[in-house]
Homo-oligomer: A and B are copies of this chain.
Amino acid sequence: MAFNGVTDEMYARVQHFYAHQMQALDALRFEEYAATFTKDGTFQHSPGVEPAVGHDGIVAELVAFHRRFDDDPVRRRHWFDHIALTPLADGALRSTVYALVVTVRPGGRPEIAPSCLVHDELVVEDGDVRLRSRRIEHDQMF
């Protein structure tokens, strides 16, 4: 059975894909995160920033972005909720997801900001889920 044209099995699979993908990002395993994209996948992590393209491009962008935390003992976790999937005409899936960034420093309390909307396009290649694009919208900018 299905909801909104997406099988129940695929829905569970996409959730599981995101769990591993985002734990990889938050653990700074950037190669593993980049490998969740297609070869020419695009990743725009912040509004107004040029999207990174391809695995090498995504890794380079993440390394550059995280330099700001070099002297900041910080742990970040990206929480997701309400993964809403919609089939596209070419067989891909549009995925729209709520996100909150949880930031923790030693001895501190979690800061929960910003609130974001994740706009993904997912493809299934040989049974494997991959992102062909990700664009992040920030709720505070409107």
Contacts and interface: CB of A to CB of B under 8 A. Distances in A.
A139 interface: yes
A88 interface: no
Given A3-B129, A110-B113, A139 B104 contact: yes
A139 B84 contact: no
Contacts of A9: 1, 8-9, 12
B23 A127 contact: no
Contacts of A19: 82-85
A4 to B, nearest CB: 6
Contacts of A50: none
Interface in A58-102: 73, 75, 77, 79-85, 96, 98, 100, 102
B140 A108 contact: yes
A17 B3 contact: yes
B82 A80 contact: yes
A13 interface: yes
A141 B11 CA distance: 35
Nearest to A114: B110
Interface of A: 1-4, 6, 8-13, 15-20, 22-23, 73, 75, 77, 79-85, 96, 98, 100, 102, 104-110, 112-115, 127, 129, 139-142
